[in-house]
Amino acid sequence: MSFLSLENVTHHYFTKKNVTRALDDISFSLDEGEFVSLVGPSGCGKSTILSIVSGIMQQTKGKVLLDNHPVREFPGAIGYMLQQDYLFPWKTIIDNVLLGPKIQQKTSADIRKKALELLSEVGLKNVEDDYPDSLSGGMRQRVALVRTLVTDPKVLLLDEPFSALDYQTKLNLEDLVHKLLRQYHKTAILVTHDIGEAISMTDRIFVMEANPGRIAKTFEVPIELRDEIPFLVRRHSKYQPLFDKVWAALNGEEIQKNTG
Amino acid sequence: MLSKIKEMKLTVIPWFIPLVLLLGWQFFSWIGVIPERILPAPTSVFSSAIELTSSGELFSHVSISLTRALVGFLIGGIIGFLFGLFNGVFRIADLLFDTSIQMLRNIPHLALIPLVILWFGIDETSKIFLVALGVLFPVYINTYHGIKYVDKSLIEMGKAYGLKGTALFFHVILPGAMSSILVGVRFSLGVMWLTLIVAETISAHSGIGYMAMNAREFMQMDVIVLSIVLYALFGKLSDVIARYLERRLLRWNM
């Protein structure tokens, strides 16, 4: 029995003049604690899938089930982490992190303690009373990660969360996010443009194609790579062959598009 | 120790030029380069201030002017803020009111003085009305603008967290608009003094402006200069208040 599953999800965008098929018959399922990634060209509907899973967008056809119930029945079950951190500049770090619990009226000494623990776990000790403007981009993104984790979501959606960071910060954060997701046994979907990131962090890779958006190919990441620290995965002997295969799958798609 | 000296420097330096001007003014009055009937010496301005204070005259004029300024500012500020708020938040209010307010805004409110005197006479109402009218528009424009241009993605983020209605307003929209609102407040404090000075000088039987006009009749140069100095001090005071508000409400922006 799978934890999160998409069954024949199809989505159309309607404009006044025409209808675009953004997603065509997407089906996949995740076990609890599984971490998958979506890679593909711009406009292939990667982010649309996340919006549908999170319930922000309603699919035209198909089902999204969490524990065999429609995902909409679980408010607060989905945590979202985006390219930008969207921290509120007028709230201190701790107030930003505890905004979710505060709105759900679940603030308590326990959750505050948990938030502080998580902050120190991501290397942010003694900054809880600072304002976001005094933190660097990487630190802010770590705060955003803590904010996502503190509400204890069932599923995490990561929409290119590292793409606005410098390379060094990005590699460090990849390791950190990978570690935390494993540690808390979180189910997660990562959207990325970076093949290396997909291979080094996730268990399965869905390569998508555009017009209409669908899953072209699925790659299982070899078991030896899955539990390795992302940074070390990139030097593993099994890394490059997989990279080449995913690359070929992505480019095959591009060539088809150019000739057709 | 070093930082203390530096801090003292920072407080002293801004007052350097006013002090030099004052000393120069006093010096040239002494040696007779500035005749008494053109510009009285600072000492004679100061002594007339003491004289008027001991007779209680100064206090009553100052308190009347301050009351007018404050009441007018509060009335105009609150109306401007509320209109800015509703027009910024609700589309229907925006459609209904904004065009009219923009039309009224472009009439110089001081041009209404003859009309206001005919309507309200030269009593308190006319001054307060003019100050309120002058203050209203800068507060309105900046509140409206601030609310309209709060970062949309932060609002989305708030909504994604389940914020809506008043909670969304107090957690996201108001703090997001605050720096713009305070720009409006600061600007309108200037308009407040300007309006009051003009109104009191043209038509009044009390207040600092009246004191100056009355002194002109008797050629009391020292009292006229005193009134002007008072306005300068109050201008500085309202700037200090505005800065204090900014420090308190925009702590995150420092």
Which tens digits make up the pLDDT trace of A2-21? 889 898 889 988 877 888 88
Among residues of chain A, what percentage have pLDDT more than 70? 97
Maximal CA-CA distance, chain B? 74
Q: What residues of A are in contact with residue B158 (Cβ under 8 Å)?
A: 88
Which residue out of B155, B156, B157, B181 would a mutagenesis test of the A interface target, given it has the greatest number of A Cβ atoms within 10 Å? B157
> Which tokens in the block code for residue B5?
């000296």
Average pLDDT for A102-114 = 83
B148 within some domain:
yes
B23 within some domain:
no
pLDDT tens per residue, range B25-82: 999 998 988 888 888 888 988 999 999 999 988 899 999 999 999 999 999 999 999 9
Contact B108, B116 (CB under 8 A): no
pLDDT tens per residue, range A156-189: 999 998 888 889 888 988 999 999 899 889 999 9
Q: Which residues contact A243 (CB under 8 A, 6 or more apart)?
A: A195, A196, A199
Q: pLDDT band at A205, cuts 50/70/90?
A: very high
pLDDT confidence of residue A259: 47
pLDDT confidence of residue B1: 60
Residue of chain B whose Cα is closest to the Cα of A56: B160
Among residues of chain A, what percentage have pLDDT more than 90? 31
Q: How far is CA B93 from CA B140, B144, B168, B180, in A?
A: 13, 11, 19, 20
Query: B183: distance to nearest CA of chain A, Å?
Result: 17
Query: Which of A112, A113, A84 is CA-nearest to residue A99?
Result: A112
State which residues of chain B have pLDDT below 50: none
Q: How many CB atoms lie within 10 A of CB A115?
A: 22
Strands (E), chain A: 4-14, 19-30, 35-39, 61-66, 69-70, 78-81, 155-159, 187-191, 204-209, 214-220
pLDDT confidence of residue A213: 86
B206 within some domain:
yes
User: Could you tell me the pTM of the whole model?
Assistant: 0.77
Number of separate domains in chain B = 1
List, as one string, the DSSP characters of A110-161. HHHHHHHHHHHHTT--S-TTS-GGGS-HHHHHHHHHHHHHHT--SEEEEEST
Contact A46, A93 (CB under 8 A): no
A131·B163 Cβ contact <8 A: no
Average pLDDT for A82-103 = 88
Q: pLDDT band at A257, cuts 50/70/90?
A: low
A88·B171 Cβ contact <8 A: yes
b (16+ CB within 10 A) / e for A30-46: beeebbbbbbbbeebbb
Average pLDDT for A214-234 = 89
Q: What residues of B are in contact with residue A83 (Cβ under 8 Å)?
A: none
Domain range enclosing B64: 43-253
| Domain CATH code at residue B231 | 1.10.3720.10
Which residue out of A97, A103, A107, A130 would a mutagenesis test of the B interface target, given it has the greatest number of B Cβ atoms within 10 Å? A103
pLDDT tens per residue, range A137-159: 889 999 998 998 888 888 999 99
Query: A133: distance to nearest CA of chain B, Å?
Result: 8
B252·A89 Cβ contact <8 A: yes
Contact A122, A144 (CB under 8 A): no
**ipTM score assigned to the predicted complex:** 0.71
A86·B157 Cβ contact <8 A: yes
B190 within some domain:
yes
Average pLDDT for A183-200 = 92
Query: Which of A155, A89, A116, A59 is CA-nearest to residue B157?
Result: A89
B32 within some domain:
no
Which residue out of A86, A92, A157 would a mutagenesis test of the B interface target, given it has the greatest number of B Cβ atoms within 10 Å? A86
Among residues of chain B, what percentage have pLDDT more than 70? 99
pLDDT confidence of residue B68: 93
Query: Which of A207, A209, A213, A214 is CA-nearest to residue A38?
Result: A207
B182 within some domain:
yes
B38 within some domain:
no
B49 within some domain:
yes
